Amino acid sequence: MLIAIAVVAMAAVFVFPRVFGGLGEAIEAGQPVNVVIPEGATGDVIAQTLVENHVVEDASEYYAAVKKLGAEMQLKPGEYRFETLQDPISVVKQLVAGPNVEGIKLTVPEGKTVAQTARIVEEVYGIPADDFIAQAKASNYVADFAFLSEAADDSLEGFLFPKTYTFQGTPTADQIIRAMLGQFQVDVLDALDFNAGLASIKARFGVELTAYQLLDLASIVEREGLHAEQRSHVASVFLNRLAGKGDFAGRPYLQSDATLMYVTGGEVTANDIQTIDSPYNSYKNAGLPPTPICSPSAEAINATLNPTDSNDLYFFITQDEEFFSETYDDHQKSWE
């Protein structure tokens, strides 16, 4: 993906620790520093990252170099090795050429929990899963990522964006989490129109959600649906249930196996539905669970923001077929 220069509001940025002195200390030129430019980063974000890491002394020098080289639409995301106080022209030329750091890739698929992500990180980088989980607290990052202010239970569930990341050597848990939160900002909050989507949901379904509640619902939609169009339809089913339509009048229960699987870690039985006393048992608790149950893809979030127009209250989905129904009787027939 190419990155265009634009003067817009600053997005979240993630970078590796600096290798030089603190505030007020002289910066020695020629010291190596690694910088990560996220996909979709604006020109202002790139400039801010380079200045904060002392790759260039002033953002105006960077903008002048970009303009001189006509590189506005040619800058590439990725991890770079620069030097402190480097010549701005050479910096821009490298950003045009592409990342110059080869690292180990970390691929986190859609629909993974924080615990599952921690196990993937342990397999790739050897960071103990328990250490990653201990670091993955919203309170550790809300100062830098304001969107975490709504996060419940100090949880980062839903925010560790699923994607392939590349780090040089062995990153820390903190560096990985910051990379994932930065990508959530770029691929979700900067790319999708939450205000319009939430307003439309309220008008069409009579359900008023916050952005965090939408993410919560999208995490369930991620686990219940298999592709974008289907997920939009699944989202409408859950919204109709939350609205208390039809069979769900006066009892807005999601009745999702996916929320219980967050507790059981596997398949859900009829006995689980009846006996598990957990706020994630959406058969016994009305409304949404306390937190998202996984990190949904941008596709699933977008599908939830743009649900299908339907009155359906039930669905049955397999790898080969799908059935959506307005009544329980019709739903039962789909099993026959």
Residues 64/5, Cβ–Cβ less than 8 Å: no
Contact 70, 92 (CB under 8 A): no
Does residue 198 sit in the same domain as residue 327? Answer: yes
Q: What is the CATH number of the domain that holds 65?
A: 3.30.1490.480
Q: Are 168 and 198 contained in the same domain?
A: no
What is the pLDDT, as a whole number, of residue 17?
Answer: 35
Residue 2 corresponds to which tokens in the numbers above? Answer: 């190419």
Do 323 and 213 reside in the same domain of the chain? yes
Please give the residue that has the higher pLDDT: either 7 or 94. 94
Instruction: Copy the structure tokens of residue 126.
Output: 């050897």
Q: What does the pLDDT look like over 216-233, one tens digit per residue?
A: 999 999 999 988 889 999
From 55, 75, 101, the end of a domain falls on 101
Q: What is the pLDDT of residues 129-173, one digit of tens each?
A: 999 999 999 999 999 999 999 999 999 999 999 999 988 778 999
Instruction: Provide the domain limits for residue 2.
Output: 1-101
Q: Are residues 260 and 309 in the same domain?
A: yes
Tell me: do 116 and 62 sit in the same domain: no
Which of 98-112, 173-187, 272-286 bottoms out in mean pLDDT, i.e. has the lowest?
98-112
Average pLDDT, the chain: 90
Four-residue CA torsion sign, 175, 37, 164, 110: positive
185-196 average pLDDT score: 97
Region 114-118 average pLDDT: 99
7 pLDDT more than 70: no
Nearest residue to 258 via CA among 287, 230, 290, 221: 221
* pLDDT > 50? residue 20: no
| Of 98, 77, 75, the residue nearest 183 (C-alpha) | 77
233 & 300 share domain: yes
Cα–Cα–Cα angle for 93, 94, 96, rounded to 5 degrees: 65
Q: Hey, what are 177's tokens?
A: 């989490």
Question: Which position has the token pair 């903190």?
Answer: 174
- State whether 258 and 133 are in the same domain: no
Give percent above pLDDT 70 in the chain: 92
Distance CA 172, CA 200 (A): 41
Name the DSSP class of 82. Answer: E
Q: Let me know whether 239 and 325 are in one domain.
A: yes
What does the longest C-alpha to C-alpha distance in the chain come to? 75
Question: Within 10 Å of residue 144's Cβ, how many Cβ atoms?
Answer: 13
Separation of alpha carbons 189 and 193, rounded Å: 8
Q: Parallel, antiparallel, or unpaired for β 322-325 and 104-107?
A: unpaired
Task: Give yes or no: residues 127 and 185 share one domain.
Answer: yes
Confidence band for 319, pLDDT divided at 50, 70 and 90? confident
Domains in the chain, number: 3
* pLDDT, position 336: 66
**Domain end among 189, 215, 249:** 189
Task: Look at residue 15 and tell me whether its pLDDT is greater than 70.
Answer: no
Read off the pLDDT band of 21 (50, 70, 90).
Answer: very low
**The whole model's pTM is what?**
0.75
Are 108 and 150 in the same domain? yes
Count of CB atoms situated within 10 Å of the CB of 38: 27
Asked whether the predicted pLDDT for residue 23 surpasses 80, the reply is no
**Hey, is 146 helix, strand or coil?**
helix
d(CA 40, CA 78): 11
